[in-house]
Amino acid sequence: MYSTMEKTLSSQATDWREGRRLRAFELKERGWKQTEIADALGVTEGAVSQWMKRAREKGVQALRHKSLLLAHRRV
């Protein structure tokens, strides 16, 4: 379980959409089912499924805002 001093991924998000994707990942890591995550976050099960696939295939950083990822590639 997270300590009170430890920052969650979702708390470090740059916007609410990124935060929602990262929160979905956190909940999945805690053992939540995708249907539960979708209900809790107000999104479709399909959206959660796509996010989890992206995280599995490309890592959790793939859930971050795309413009930030592009900025890192240019450097």
Which two three-digit tokens encode residue 17?
Answer: 């959409």
pLDDT at 22: 96
How many other C-beta atoms can be found within 10 angstroms of the C-beta atom of residue 24? 24
58-72 per-position pLDDT tens digit? 999 999 987 555 555
Residue 1 has pLDDT above 90, yes or no: no
Of the candidates 61, 56, 54, 26, the one whose C-alpha atom is nearest the C-alpha of residue 41 is: 26
pLDDT at 71: 53
Domains of the chain: 15-74 (1.10.10)
Determine the Cα angle at 61 with ends 58 and 62, to 5°. 50
pLDDT at 4: 44
23-47 per-position pLDDT tens digit? 999 999 999 999 999 999 999 999 9
Residue 26 CB-density burial (10 A; 0-12 exposed, 13-18 middle, 19+ buried) = middle
Residue 14 has pLDDT above 60, yes or no: yes
